[in-house]
Amino acid sequence: MLRDRKQRRRWIFITTASLFILATIIGLWLYRLIQLPNVQIDSEASTILIPTGSTYEDLVQLLRSDSLLKDERGFRKVANWMKFSDAGIKAGRYKIQSGWSNRQLISILRAGIQEPVKLVIHNVRTVEDLAGKVAPLIEPDSQSVLTYLRDSANLSRLKLTRETVLSLFIPNSYEVFWNTSPEGLVRRMLHEHDNFWKQNNRRQKAKEIGLGPAEVYTLASIVEKETQASSERSAVAGLYLNRLDKGMPLQADPTIVFAVGDFTMRRVLNKHLTVDSPYNTYRRVGLPPGPIYMPSISSIDAVLKAEKHNYLYMCARPDNSGLHAFASNLRGHNQNAARYRSWLNQRGIIK
């Protein structure tokens, strides 16, 4: 009897110890799979792009092709336990840290915690240029962006035209998600546009000079290409506003360059002034139908705080300063222009 008790106690002890050891082994195995590092990257971090419409298997293939996992089978097991499947895949750009566990990696991907991209928008002439500059930084291609910006229904909702749509984009740096759609991008730019015109009383200032935001943007684009010297942009803007007030053609050479389409031109000749284009401000009175360039914020503000003077004419100075000689009458302008033409001829600049 005593012997049977001892054997039973021994059996219970052995069974308990075995179960404990087994539980410990299973616990360690689970801990290793779930909590220990499984992401291996040569550098500290790496970025992966998960395209829209990706499945769970697409994701695993992406991780495999980039050799980001030490143990793919372990990742699959934890993903199954965490119910991470096709429904949990969220497109986007993700920054993956070396040393992450399966749980950390899956949690970030399932929650859709993306790393934004920095979108820098400036130095653009046309909406085609804009689409080409933006597209390499986001998922949609340039044609998708361009198609959206050219769609008549979209433009009607935005109260813009094909010619003025560029004015929606305020030059600046923005953080956006890589998988943003063309519609999402435009919504973001519309929000930034509205905020910009609310700041510093800009919309009211535009109203005071008789222009709307898109018209200020268009005039600022001419000012931007007319002078690289920020110190005289307000003076140039004031000159063009004087011409608009008097019903005079703007006669802005940068609009001729835009109309001709030869952006290498250094000299506008008489033959160029006859080009049949709504952007030919020598032949047409008023502003052109849209901007000829994406102006800097400083040029936009230069129009809004344009100098008040009686200048109606300007001509580049006969030097390399990039500045202009201003005149309030045609006689003074012709004298300035003659000096400048002579200076160009002496240097053999004919185009």
Concatenating the DSSP letter of every residue in 77-117 gives: HHHHHTT-SGGG---EEEEEETT-BHHHHHHHHHHT---PE
Residues of the chain with confidence (pLDDT) below 50: none
The single-letter code of the amino acid at 177 is F
Query: What are 155-164's contacts with CB under 8 Å, separation 24+?
Result: 158/186, 158/190, 160/214, 161/289, 161/290, 162/127, 162/290, 163/288, 163/289, 163/290, 164/214, 164/217, 164/218, 164/289, 164/290, 164/291
Name which CATH class applies to 45-111: alpha beta
What is the pLDDT at residue 8?
Answer: 72
pLDDT value at position 18?
61
pLDDT at 26: 54
Listed by start position, the domains of the chain span: 45-111, 117-199, 209-346
CB-CB contact of 60 with 89 (8 Å): no
Phi, psi angles (nearest 5°) of residue 50: -105, 110
**What pLDDT does residue 6 have?**
64
First to last CA, the chain: 117
| Burial bucket for residue 153 (CB in 10 Å: 0-12, 13-18, 19+) | exposed
pTM to 2 decimals?
Answer: 0.86
Q: What is the pLDDT of residue 341?
A: 87
Q: What's the CA gap between 187 and 181, in Å, rounded?
A: 10
Alpha-carbon distance 25 to 213, whole Å?
70
- Distance in angstroms (rounded) separating the CA atoms of residues 128 and 133: 9
pLDDT at 282: 96
Amino acid sitting at position 41:
I
- Tell me what pLDDT residue 19 has: 59
Collect all residues with Cβ–Cβ distance below 8 Å to 220 and sequence separation of at least 6.
Answer: 237, 291, 295, 299, 300, 302, 303
Q: How many angstroms separate the CA atoms of 68 and 101, rounded?
A: 11
Q: What pLDDT score was predicted for residue 83?
A: 94
Count CB atoms within 10 A of the CB of residue 89: 21
> So what's the pLDDT on residue 142?
97
The pLDDT score that the predictor gives to residue 351 is: 55
At residue 265, the pLDDT reads 84
Contacts of 93 by beta carbon, 8 Å cutoff, 6+ apart:
47, 48, 49, 50, 114, 115, 116, 117, 177, 178, 179
Residue for token digits 């160029």? 272
pLDDT at 284: 96
Instruction: Give, as one character, the DSSP assignment of residue 11.
Output: H
DSSP state of 46: E
Q: What is the pLDDT of residue 124?
A: 94
Segment 106-137, tens digit of pLDDT = 999 999 999 999 999 999 999 999 999 999 99
CA distance linking residue 333 with residue 336, whole number of Å: 5
> What is the number of H-type helices and E-type strands within the chain?
14, 6
